[in-house]
Amino acid sequence: MKKNNSSQRLLNVPPSPIRGLVPFAVAAKKQGVKIYHLNIGDPDIKTPEIMVDVLRKWSVNPIRYGQSRGEPVFIEAVKDYYHKLGHKFVKDDNIQVTSGGSEGISIAMFATCEPGDEIIVFEPFYTNYNSYATVNGVKLIPVRTFEDTGFHLPGAKVIEKKISRKTKAILITNPNNPTGTVLTKKEMELIVSLAKKHNLYVISDETYREYVYDGKKHVSLFDYMQKLPERAIVLDSMSKRYSLCGARLGMFVSLNKEIMEGVLRIAQGRLSVGLIDQYMGAKLAEVEGSYLKNVHKEYQKRRDILYQGLKKIPGVYLEKPEGAFYTVVKLPVKDSGKFCQWLLTSFRYKNETVMLAPAAGFYATSGLGKNEARIAYVLNTKDLEKAIEILRRALIEYKG
């Protein structure tokens, strides 16, 4: 029996493995300890100046509500962005502006499922899917992927075993957070064919679209949207593409008219996304092409430094991430949660330490990820090299 007055479903919302150790980090910083944050995808790369200039030059007073669907100037910029990617079928009314990609995730679950329905996910997966599934009364059904295949998808038979009469959607993240996996064309076609066969929605979270390495090509759900017009939903975000995490700009895109009308009603209930944020985001059309090319180059360099550095640490195992700026690393510890907490509370090297995200929270299956951590390579190369050395020394001391 509950001992308080809150709802049971509130108590069921899981804590974030990304932010759950923050109190320990705060305490360490108060002691003067420098922490290298590898726990969260909050890039240190500068936001395009043309976007920041909107803040510097803002003169509209009072700052009013924006439109519930989104400000036309921002929607137009987003539509043009998709058109330049080759998806010219996307129209204004196919786009709903959301408060970051996070709101889009929650709305997608609400739009496709009744309470008690199920969504197929591939674990490990973005941990906040757990939170939004709980909030919306949806059950995530995990299909496991494995390190030695680079966390790529299993075959159709494995996936179909998890599909039931309650299954309403397949949720993918491409490129993947937390694994850095980039789905191949064959894998995307598998997902689309299963959706058609079982009359399911496909929800594709494409926040990291631009960050695909080693000459690989991102295969978007947009490429199949016209073949699956009533069942395809793309979730997108400005946060990582333009280092606009604090601006909270996401996009929900679908050709399904009924869904878009319903999503707008939800948006009307929460009124609007930030007005200034959208005017900042609308400048994406004016950002020079070299910006994203340089960011891509920088992240690939960081990926290489992290991969090569971690491979040299005894007992550490990882596959080379193919995209995004994350990787799941197997550590020579029994409980990565305790180890990550110990890094913040007890370990210091030259009065510095590192912060990682325990990977158990990126799984739905109990017991998985216990000896793994997610690492976000969002630090400059110099700091990244320092963080790797600190982790190396920490593992020696922890095991000793």
Q: pLDDT tens digit string along 75-110? A: 999 999 999 999 999 999 999 999 999 999 999 999
Domain 8-46+289-399 has CATH 3.90.1150.10: yes
Q: How confident is the model at residue 381 (pLDDT cuts 50, 70, 90)?
A: very high
The contacts of residue 197 (CB under 8 Å, 6+ apart) are: none
Task: Please give the average per-residue pLDDT across 348-353, as a whole number.
Answer: 98
For residue 4, pLDDT beyond 70 = no
- Which pLDDT value is given to residue 363? 95
Domain 8-46+289-399 and domain 49-286, same fold? Reply is no
Does pLDDT of 315 surpass 80?
Answer: yes
Q: Do 300 and 379 touch, CB atoms closer than 8 A?
A: no
| Contact in structure between 90 and 253 (CB atoms under 8 Å) | yes
Looking at the predicted structure, is the pLDDT value of residue 3 above 80?
A: no
Residue 5 has pLDDT above 70, yes or no: yes
Say whether pLDDT at 224 is over 70: yes
Q: Any idea where the domains of the chain sit in the sequence?
A: 8-46+289-399, 49-286
Q: What is the mean pLDDT of the chain?
A: 96
Complete DSSP assignment for 179-224:
T-----HHHHHHHHHHHHHHT-EEEEE-TTTT-B-TT-----GGGG
377: CB partners within 8 A, 6+ apart: 38, 299, 302, 303, 305, 306, 325, 326, 327, 384
Q: What is the pTM of this model?
A: 0.95
In CATH, which of 3.40.50.620, 3.40.640.10, 2.60.110.10, 3.30.70.890 is domain 49-286? 3.40.640.10
Distance of alpha carbon 324 from alpha carbon 178, whole angstroms: 9
pLDDT in tens, 24-62: 999 999 999 999 999 999 999 999 999 999 999 999 999
